[in-house]
Amino acid sequence: MNMAQTQTGALLHNDHVATIQTLQTLEGFLTRQTPKRPPDVNDPPVRKMLGNLIATVNSEVGRHFTFEEEHLFPRLADAGEENLGEFLKQEHASILPLANACAEASAKAMEEGFTEAGWKQFFTDCMELIEREIFHIQKEEMGLLAAISMLIDPETDGELAMTFQSMS
């Protein structure tokens, strides 16, 4: 079985794809910009990238993690797969504060611009976020989506998918 055979897995996968696209765009931008040179936040592509980062953190990351922790992981634990949920929750706990810091710095920069020190911190935090989040997504794509297809029955899958969509 693969994740496409579950509605919940497909929805989570779509979030993963959107998050990776945003992070790859951010990484390319950061690499070109370097930590030494704050960007012009009035430049439309820079504003778009910062706005996309904020939206991704708020929708894909925040909503996604909440759904998994409050709705999906308890169902997997009931099916005997408690360790996977606990492991992923620990990763969420290390990723979410960093993601929120990057989103908050983006919002502040869109209003005030970046200071040199603020840009260096943003650069460092975002590069760390990119590394952590992409590695986390890879684990979910390989482990979590497979667990959903093996342990969640079609009726529960439908309920979980509806719950996830209602959180959008």
**What pLDDT sits at residue 3?**
43
pLDDT tens, the chain, 168 aa long: 444 589 999 999 999 999 999 999 999 999 999 999 999 999 999 999 999 999 999 887 889 999 999 999 999 999 999 999 999 999 999 999 999 999 999 999 999 999 999 999 999 999 999 999 999 999 999 999 999 999 999 999 999 999 999 997
Just give the CATH number of 3-31+40-166. 1.20.120.520
> Of 135, 59, 42, 68, whose CA–CA distance to 95 is shortest?
135
SS3 for the chain is CCHHHCHHHHHHHHHHHHHHHHHHHHHHHHHHHCCCCCCCCCCHHHHHHHHHHHHHHHHHHHHHHHHHHHHHHHHHHHCCCHHHHHHHHHHHHHHHHHHHHHHHHHHHHHHHCCCHHHHHHHHHHHHHHHHHHHHHHHHHHHHHHHHHHHHCCHHHHHHHHHHHHHCC
Domain regions of the chain by residue span? 3-31+40-166
Whole-model pTM: value is: 0.91
- For residue 69, what are the CA distances in angstroms to 10, 94, 97? 17, 14, 16
Question: Distance between CA atoms of 61 and 27, rounded to whole angstroms?
Answer: 17
Radius of gyration of the chain, Cα coordinates, nearest whole angstrom: 17
**What pLDDT sits at residue 60?**
78
Question: Distance between CA atoms of 21 and 61, rounded to whole angstroms?
Answer: 13
Cα-Cα-Cα-Cα torsion 21, 25, 27, 28, nearest 10 degrees, comes to 140
